[in-house]
Chain A
Amino acid sequence: MKFILNIQYKTLYVLLSLIIISCSKEDPEPINEEELITTVQLTFKAPGITDQIVRWQEGSNNSDAISLAANTQYEVGIIFLDESDPSDIEDITEEVKEEADEHQVFYEFSQLNIGLEQSSSDTLDSNQNPVYINSLWNTSEVGSGTVRVYLIHEPVTKSSSTRDGFAGETDVAVDFLITIE
């Protein structure tokens, strides 16, 4: 019996100390959300035309419209940013470039005839496939429509002409309106 009582006291002591430990709870730290992409920014460059920058920013719920000239070749660059903390803006594009094999940028156009081409300044993955971080857009006739910009994570294939063909998970899918004049 003494033995048992001894055990009980000891357990009680352990219990009490456990409770005291668990009761003194500290304030939780704010989490630095690491993979967050809040902003997609496209830059359009063409000879003789002023550079155009459009942004889609989370929370603002509307994107800038893109206006392009007909029958022109544009060099289009895309960057992904984490602007959740305005004092510490992070460029996620670097991570995408580093993991080029696991990523694919893709543009899908509606009601527009824009030819998409590989750019010589683009990042290539280990199989020499373009990631389309930099790409060439060839406009033709006048019109208006939408472009949907995708960042695809772990696509099943790196060469497809449709979003469905790539499979994988969608990390970014945002729409911009385009007018071609």
Chain B
Amino acid sequence: MPLKFFIFPLIFLLCFKSIQAQNCNLKISGIIKDLHDSSPIFGAVVRINGSDILTQTSEDGLYFFNQICPGKLIFVVEHSNCNSVQREVILSENTTLNFTLEHHINELEEIIISDNTLKSLKGSAKESRLNSDQINKYSSQGLADALNTLAGVSTLKTGNSVAKPMIHGMYGSRVGIVANGIRLQDQEWGADHAPTIDLNSFENIQLVKGASALKYGGDTPGGIIVLSPSKLILKDSLFGQTIINASENGRGGSISTKIMKTTSDGYYVSSQFSGKQFGDLLAPEYILSNTGVKQMNISLKLGRSKILSGWEVNYSRFQNEIGILRGAHIGNIQDLLRALKTDVPLRIDPFTYLINSPKQEGVHQNFHFTYFNQTSNKVKWQLDYNYQANTRKEFDIRRGIPASTPAIDLKLQTHNFLVNLKWKTKFSMDYEWGVNGILQDNYSNPNTGVKRLIPDYLRYQMGSYFLGAYSPSNSFSWDWGIRLDQNTWDVQKFYNVSDWEERDYAVLFPDFDVQQFGNKLLVNPKLNFLTLATQTGISIILGEQFSASLTYVLSQRSPNASELFSDGLHHSLATLEYGSLSLEKEISNKILLNFSKNKGRFKGTLEPYVSKISNYIFIGPTGIEQTIRGAFPVWQYDTTNASFWGVDAGVDYTFSEQFTFDINASYTYAQDLINREPLISIPPFNSSQILKYTSPKKKFDLELVNHFVSFQNRFPEMNFTVNTLQDGLIIEELVDISTPPSAYQSIDFNFSLYFNLIKQSTSSISFIVNNITQTKYRDYLNRMRFYADDIGRNFQLQFIFSY
């Protein structure tokens, strides 16, 4: 290389340096993260090339320099398990410099193309996350319970064990769950279907509000929950963890154990098992009969990761059996009225571990194969194939039929193909392009002896996305994405002749094949939906402490199986629910803002959002149908226009190294613009406050948590009347299913003791008390609120052994 190329910058640098020499007081700080899962890297060395200035990152991955002279500097970040990274920077003011490191294998020295695109896409729509410590705490509970600790996330429940995460007042098909990079397909459309996934097999959970993770789909206006497994350490090692929980309430517990073996040439194998069993749970004053739960999961993983290529085969199986409160099984609205009128469930049996009807049984199997290859240091491609088989059985209390015959017996199989290409250009631009194909097959077993709730269908989906991210400096980034999906349904459904005619389907859909069987029609609806999603966002860092981001998301969602085809009696509310073939796609426009103060004693985030949804699909009462069990309210899926806005906020104050105080709060407003009334099942204002004491040297910590949930004063009126006979007279009585329960408050306590069973691995024993004061409450978002109080106090012991 000609000498002048060296000399010129050198002279320039010297000049620059001499001019600014008197001002050597710049502060440089930042965070070093793992490229794969964004976890902070502890003990990385950050040094300035050509000088002896160096520092090491803290446990949070943070580093800090002060008294740095302005000018052109080369930063080098090194870590024993990772490739070093260099970056040239011209400094003129205090700067934040963040780096990502890739774990490496000794024999390969190429630097991997960074995962920036995806990360910054998530970065602009502010993400929240749960780390493995937080996940472990909820080891014996479910995904929704763990996520509930984040501002903006609520839980839609059916009893205590069936819990669905709700983001910004949306749930089900409006919230995506992504595990190992693939959307979970588990009949998420049902309000009483909990995600069939085991929390314990993941170590990192990210919550992306809005739908800005277009790689995983563009149809989730609520948000996406991304679950990632533990990161790999590419050296010879064997490690594991066992968590044991014992709970007083429900007299049950759980055990979860995982073990992973890695080798220095990139092979890894891991296995995980977890199981839990609880008997009937207790409300403060009585037993919640038939609320036991059993669950068993295993997962196995084998793979090889080299820097330039890698593959993985992954299998997991999830199985559960959940009892539904016996007192909540009703036959008609008069039964519902009777349940509403009493404070105590109509049926309370002695405590038992047995789970009787009504109950749910689910099995979810997941097979995943992935292969990636980096063809140059600018291009990386990845191939994924995923197969999911989800079976769901619901057992009702029935007459003349063995208890082992389910009333609902569905098998949903999904094949998912994904090809993803990532490349980097000059000008700090990263791109990602991919094609996603989905084939889904639903089979509804006819041996139930009950009309199919969801019909047999085949659904084909083909989608493609193109994403880009531009990050010219550490303090600014811009990202954008576009995704197009084609959804095709091929359905075979029986309709009652009378229903088919009453809804005018024969006129609206003259092309559908129809075959008549007595008073039933077998119809073959073929439906097509083309959906477009786009998003763009910017995120900026303002000075040392503040950051802000703005995201706009357009998402379109095609109606789900339940919205299109539901057909029958819903036992928990004694309603007849009908889908509609005439539904069109739902179109959501959402803007999210985030302001954060990330440093100092006082930290905080404020996240307002606003969205407008046209063709918002909802279910509402439309009339009364006379049946042999009396009059039933008929609920029909329909569309309206809706607007949502809300604020999620978090404040974190550090009194001293020992004491911290956190407050999280969120508020959601949702309005039906056509019917001019509030939307149903929107979380009321809620807040949690956490006071935490950490002993010096982190030997133990104490935590006191207060939850407050206010009364939801915005609710639509969905009441109806029923004629009852009282003292020989027919009386019309109001069945109030609309008025939400009162506000409540509950307090949790947590004490954890930390110790090292073996070097570098922290084990712990925790003593946890939930609902200390035995607060008697009912929650608006729990569908069992009509029948019983929520669960009372629970003492829990938790052991976590890491080895």
Q: Are B449 and A167 in touch, CB under 8 angstroms?
A: no
Chain B nearest Cβ from A139, distance in angstroms: 14
Determine which of A7, A34, A174 lies in contact with B401 in the assembled complex, contact meaning CB atoms within 8 Å.
Answer: A34
Candidate in A99, A103, A171, A173 with the most chain B CB atoms within 10 angstroms: A173
Q: Are A153 and B446 in touch, CB under 8 angstroms?
A: no
Closest to A86 in B: B518
B490: chain A residues within 8 A (beta carbon): 25
B588: chain A residues within 8 A (beta carbon): none
Q: Are A146 and B730 in touch, CB under 8 angstroms?
A: yes
B338: chain A residues within 8 A (beta carbon): 164, 167
Q: Counting CB contacts under 8 A, is A117 at the interface?
A: no
Determine which of B334, B439, B452 lies in contact with A31 in the assembled complex, contact meaning CB atoms within 8 Å.
Answer: B452
Q: Are B494 and A34 in touch, CB under 8 angstroms?
A: no
Which segment, of B96-104, B161-169, B624-632, B737-745, faces chain A?
Answer: B624-632
Determine which of B332, B448, B451, B729 lies in contact with A170 in the assembled complex, contact meaning CB atoms within 8 Å.
Answer: B332
Q: Are A23 and B449 in touch, CB under 8 angstroms?
A: no
Q: Give Cα A109 to B444, complex, Å.
A: 43
Q: A84-B519, A171-B399 are in contact. Are A31 and B335 (CB under 8 A)?
A: no
Contact with B along A22-39 (1 / 0, CB 8 A): 110101111111110111
Q: Are B729 and A111 in touch, CB under 8 angstroms?
A: yes
Q: A164-B338, A169-B331 are in contact. Are A99 and B399 (CB under 8 A)?
A: yes
Q: Give Cα A31 to B401, complex, Å.
A: 15
B452: chain A residues within 8 A (beta carbon): 28, 31
Closest to A174 in B: B628
Contact with B along A53-78 (1 / 0, CB 8 A): 00010110100000000000000000
Q: Are A34 and B397 in touch, CB under 8 angstroms?
A: no
Q: Are A56 and B400 in touch, CB under 8 angstroms?
A: no
Q: Counting CB contacts under 8 A, is B415 at the interface?
A: yes
Q: Give Cα A7 to B331, complex, Å.
A: 54
A98: chain B residues within 8 A (beta carbon): 400
B728: chain A residues within 8 A (beta carbon): 109-113, 145
Q: Counting CB contacts under 8 A, is A163 at the interface?
A: yes
Which segment, of A11-19, A44-52, A121-129, faces chain B?
Answer: A11-19
B629: chain A residues within 8 A (beta carbon): 170-173
Q: Are B385 and A148 in touch, CB under 8 angstroms?
A: no
Q: Are B346 and A167 in touch, CB under 8 angstroms?
A: yes
B724: chain A residues within 8 A (beta carbon): 163
Contact with A along B149-161 (1 / 0, CB 8 A): 0000000000000
B449: chain A residues within 8 A (beta carbon): 31-35
Q: Counting CB contacts under 8 A, is B5 at the interface?
A: no
Q: Counting CB contacts under 8 A, is B278 at the interface?
A: no
Q: Are B630 and A31 in touch, CB under 8 angstroms?
A: no
Q: Are B517 and A35 in touch, CB under 8 angstroms?
A: no
Contact with A along B381-421 (1 / 0, CB 8 A): 00001010000000001111100000000000101000000
Q: Are B628 and A22 in touch, CB under 8 angstroms?
A: no
A15: chain B residues within 8 A (beta carbon): 385, 387, 415
A112: chain B residues within 8 A (beta carbon): 728
Query: Count the A residues whose beta carbon is within 8 Å of the partner chain — how many?
Result: 58
Q: Are A58 and B413 in touch, CB under 8 angstroms?
A: no
Q: Give Cα A18 to B66, complex, Å.
A: 61
Query: Count the B residues whose beta carbon is within 8 Å of the partner chain — how many?
Result: 53
Closest to B449 in A: A34
Q: Counting CB contacts under 8 A, is A8 at the interface?
A: yes
Candidate in A29, A32, A56 with the most chain B CB atoms within 10 angstroms: A29
Q: Counting CB contacts under 8 A, is B369 at the interface?
A: yes
Q: A18-B415, A30-B520 are in contact. Are A25 and B335 (CB under 8 A)?
A: no
Q: Are B400 and A35 in touch, CB under 8 angstroms?
A: yes
Q: Counting CB contacts under 8 A, is A95 at the interface?
A: yes
B439: chain A residues within 8 A (beta carbon): 19, 22-23
B519: chain A residues within 8 A (beta carbon): 84
Q: A22-B415, A111-B728 are in contact. Are A35 and B401 (CB under 8 A)?
A: yes
Q: Counting CB contacts under 8 A, is A89 at the interface?
A: no
Q: Are B399 and A23 in touch, CB under 8 angstroms?
A: no
A32: chain B residues within 8 A (beta carbon): 449
Q: Which of A142-171 contact B (CB under 8 A)?
A: 145-146, 148, 153-154, 156, 163-164, 167-171
Q: Counting CB contacts under 8 A, is B87 at the interface?
A: no
Contact with A along B274-317 (1 / 0, CB 8 A): 00000000000000000000000000000000000001010000
Q: Are A28 and B494 in touch, CB under 8 angstroms?
A: yes
A33: chain B residues within 8 A (beta carbon): 449-451
B331: chain A residues within 8 A (beta carbon): 153, 168-171, 173
Q: Give Cα A85 to B520, complex, Å.
A: 10
B369: chain A residues within 8 A (beta carbon): 7, 11
Q: Counting CB contacts under 8 A, is A136 at the interface?
A: no
Q: Are B399 and A31 in touch, CB under 8 angstroms?
A: no
Chain A nearest Cβ from B77, distance in angstroms: 32
Closest to A80 in B: B628
Q: Counting CB contacts under 8 A, is A40 at the interface?
A: yes
Chain B nearest Cβ from A112, distance in angstroms: 7
Q: Are B494 and A31 in touch, CB under 8 angstroms?
A: yes
Q: Are B441 and A148 in touch, CB under 8 angstroms?
A: no
Closest to B493 in A: A28
A96: chain B residues within 8 A (beta carbon): 399
Determine which of B311, B329, B415 lies in contact with A4 in the assembled complex, contact meaning CB atoms within 8 Å.
Answer: B311
Determine which of A4, A30, A146, A172 lies in contact with B494 in the assembled complex, contact meaning CB atoms within 8 Å.
Answer: A30
Q: Are A37 and B371 in touch, CB under 8 angstroms?
A: no
Chain A nearest Cβ from B402, distance in angstroms: 11
Q: Counting CB contacts under 8 A, is B456 at the interface?
A: yes
Q: Are B385 and A56 in touch, CB under 8 angstroms?
A: no
Q: Counting CB contacts under 8 A, is B330 at the interface?
A: yes
Determine which of A28, A110, A154 lies in contact with B725 in the assembled complex, contact meaning CB atoms within 8 Å.
Answer: A110
Q: Which of B431-490 contact A (CB under 8 A)?
A: 439, 441, 444, 446, 448-452, 455-456, 458, 490
In order of increasing CB-CB distance, the 5 nearest A-B pairs are A34-B449, A169-B331, A170-B331, A95-B400, A173-B630
Task: List the interface of chain A (C-beta within 8 A of B).
Answer: 4, 7-8, 11, 15, 18-19, 22-23, 25, 27-35, 37-40, 56, 58-59, 61, 84-85, 92, 95-96, 98-99, 102-103, 108-113, 145-146, 148, 153-154, 156, 163-164, 167-174
Q: List 6 A-B pairs, Cβ < 8 Å.
A: A4-B311, A25-B441, A30-B520, A103-B399, A163-B334, A171-B331
